[in-house]
Structure 1
Amino acid sequence: MDLFSVLMAAVAPGISLLAYFYLKDRYETEPIHLVGKLFLFGVLLVIPAMVIQSAFIEEIGGENQFTFAFFISGGLEEFLKWFVVYHLIYRHSSFDEPYDGIVYAVAVSLGFATLENILYALVNGTSISMLIMRALLPVSGHALFGVMMGYYLGKAKFMRAHERKYLFASMLLPILWHGSFDYIQLVAQSNWIWFMLPFMTLLWIRTIWKINRANEHSPLGRIMRSDEEFEVG
């Protein structure tokens, strides 16, 4: 494959997944420029994440698989993504329904995953089968961790009585899922796919459920349903 084809193949999964989650918003899609901005910030996070990870590996080593998966890899990456979403969008006026948290967190996550995918393709070279595997696993994994993050950010913003609890969950749960994803690959090196398939299936099931829940709790949805009932009455 030539360079352009490799780049397009590396970018396509992230853009496709972002479009999928963006269009899952039932009531009011987010400003596309704002989603694009969050995606770009996700791209920009890759380099500092790599620098910090290299520093941690140099200081504490990367031999311990649990520490690497849950702290150096999953922990650091999910914290950086959470930090960007929280500080750029959590108080933003466009974040006006629970599902919006999912859109913005997924945008950051897929920006990160897309550049990571490009770098992997450029450094290692790749085949069609490997590109498909990466689309189904690392790239979609980042998206699903983003759904987890955004779902609880939405709960935190619109259930203020439990804001701190849900903010903590919005950071902790993606770290645990991402860390588990990495840990499976590190520990079960030869047969990791047999553990990863049920893991990703469970994660997708939880993701679809959370998407539906977030849409159901939209204040915009309640307003529209009230208007429909008023017109019928």
Structure 2
Amino acid sequence: MFILLTVAIAPGLALFSYFYLRNEMKTEPGKTLLQSFVYGAAITFPILFIQYVLTEEVVFTNPFVQHVLFTSVLEEFFKWFLLYLAIYHHVEFDDPYDGILYGASISLGFATVENVLYLLSYGVDTAFMRALLPVSSHALFGVVMGYYLGKSKFTKRTKKYLWLAFLAPVLLHIVYNGILMLEDAWLYVMIPFMLFLWTFALRKVKMAHAHLIIHLYDQNKL
């Protein structure tokens, strides 16, 4: 059991450490980051409950609508809503790069609990593929969400970027889930998509870091 939990949790911690260490300018309070991780972990259960009820009640007759459109919107909405409700106005959210960290943290909280539950059901044989795909994709969706959330808070186009913080991860998630529906051909499409997703998200990290430097300069902290 201990080995299984370690394998399930390790990818999330590794990815979060990567994005945390990319912030070379300042240290973010660990307590607030832990809170956002816990929020992400907590929403796993209502999301799974909603998905279970809708499946049992056969609300959706089209698998694409259920597993691609609805699941993507549901998961990203919960993450976006909690980020906005609990983190967006928090005093510790005080620079553009913070959005990256909080977005990654809440997404990895969700992905880690989901990963634990999945490995408990199907065993550690799937751990490597889970780390490469679901865990890392959730982290990258969170990075994109957090980037636009930071843009929303620290630019004048608040509503535009607030909507992008929700819609951009939803679109990426829909594409990801849609690829999984391709059956035998899914892996051939997933590899270039994941390369694109990493490139896209890391570009947002780089841009957020540049915004942070400008922000600190404007605040006379550099």
Class of the TM-score when normalised by the shorter of the 2 chains: over 0.9
Instruction: Give the TM-score, by structure 2 length.
Output: 0.94
The residue type equivalent to 1:64 in the other structure is P
Query: What is the rounded CA distance, in whole Å, between the counterparts of 1:221 and 1:181 in structure 2?
Result: 36
- Decide whether the 8 Å contact of 1:21 with 1:103 is kept in 2: yes
- Return the alpha-carbon distance in structure 1 between the equivalents of residues 61 and 168 of structure 2: 22
The counterpart of 2:111, out of the listed 106, 110, 113, is 113
Match of 1:193 in 2: 187
Cα displacement string for residues 191-214 of structure 1 (whole angstroms, at most 9, x for unaligned residues)? 211000000000100111110101
The answer on whether the counterparts of 1:27 and 1:220 sit within 8 Å (CA) in structure 2 is no
Listed as ranges, the gaps of 5+ residues in structure 2 are none
> Do the aligned residues in 2 keep the contact of 1:215 with 1:221 (CA within 8 Å)?
no
The Cα shift of 1:180 comes to 1.1
- d(CA) in 1 for partners of 2:124 and 2:199? 29
Q: Distance in 2 between matches of 1:221 and 1:43?
A: 32
Deviation string, structure 1 residues 46-68 (Cα, Å, up to 9, x no partner): 11001112233325225331443
Q: Matched residue of 2:43: which SS?
A: helix
User: Residue 211 of structure 1 aligns with which residue?
Assistant: 205
Q: Per-residue deviation at 1:179?
A: 1.3
Shift of 1:22: 1.2
State the Cα RMSD in Å.
Answer: 1.7
Pair member with larger Rg: 1
Amino acid at match of 2:149: L
The 8 Å contact of residues 10 and 118 in structure 1, kept in 2 or not, is answered as yes
Matched, 1:60 2:59: yes
Q: How many percent identity over aligned positions?
A: 42
| CA offsets 1:5-41 (integer angstroms, 9 cap, x no match) | 1110010000111111111112112101110111011
Q: Is the 8 A contact 1:70 1:180 kept in 2?
A: no
Aligned counterpart, 1:231: none
> Cα deviations across residues 103-129 of structure 1 (Å, max 9, x unaligned)?
0011000000000000001011232xx
TM-score in terms of structure 1 length: 0.89
Given candidates 24, 27, 30, the residue that maps to 1:29 is 27
Deviation track 1:54-109 (CA, whole Å, cap 9, x = no partner) reads 233325225331443122x1110000001111111101111111110110011000
Q: Does 1:152 align with 2:154?
A: no
CA contact (8 A) 2:7 2:124 kept: no
SS across alignment from 2:184:
coil
Q: Is the 8 A contact 1:99 1:154 kept in 2?
A: yes
**Matches of residues 45-124 of structure 1 in structure 2 within 5 Å?**
45-57=43-55, 58=57, 60-61=59-60, 63-71=62-70, 73-124=71-122
How far apart, in 2, do the equivalents of 1:19 and 1:7 lie? 18
What number of residue pairs does the alignment pair up?
220
Paired with 1:183 and 1:106, the residues of 2 have a C-alpha distance of 22
Task: State the SS of the aligned residue for 1:217.
Answer: helix
Counterpart CA distance in 1 for 2:45 and 2:199 is 32
CA distance in 1, matches of 2:179, 2:219: 44
1:172 equivalent in alignment to 2:167: yes
Secondary structure, counterpart of 2:89 in structure 1: coil
In structure 2, the residue corresponding to 1:191 is in which secondary structure? Answer: helix
